[in-house]
Amino acid sequence: RKEVEQDPGPFNVPEGATVAFNCTYSNSASQSFFWYRQDCRKEPKLLMSVYSSGNEDGRFTAQLNRASQYISLLIRDSKLSDSATYLCVVEHITGGGNKLTFGTGTQLKVEL
């Protein structure tokens, strides 16, 4: 089983739609959780951190359920510029420091 699992998509949605991505992780000792965005042939960029209380940043809402080891990302009022791959990322502590584990990503295509 992969440490971080995501539906690869693609999710094809019209502009203005609301779309939700889910992610599950296997390491119950994971400490921190993030959503990153990666455009084609580019490096990943931090979109937002994810907290149990849920957090919102404009059109983006992230939620963490530690009991179910489940993370979600909701994008409202999708824009063409939201088209990208969204990576679910989990951080855990090791003897050598904190490490990030990336999911394979969910591809989003927002269309006119």
Q: Of the two residues 31 and 65, which places its CB atom closer to other proteins in the complex?
A: 31
- Rounded to a whole number of angstroms, the minimum distance from the CB of residue 23 to other proteins is 11
Q: Of the two residues 37 and 63, which places its CB atom closer to other proteins in the complex?
A: 37
Encoded tokens for 74: 């909701």
- Rounded to a whole number of angstroms, the minimum distance from the CB of residue 67 to other proteins is 23
For 82, phi then psi, to 5°, come to: -80, -10
Q: Of the two residues 2 and 77, which places its CB atom closer to other proteins in the complex?
A: 2
- Rounded to a whole number of angstroms, the minimum distance from the CB of residue 16 to other proteins is 28
Q: Which residues bind other proteins (CB under 8 A)?
A: 4, 8, 32, 41-46, 49, 87, 91, 93, 96-105
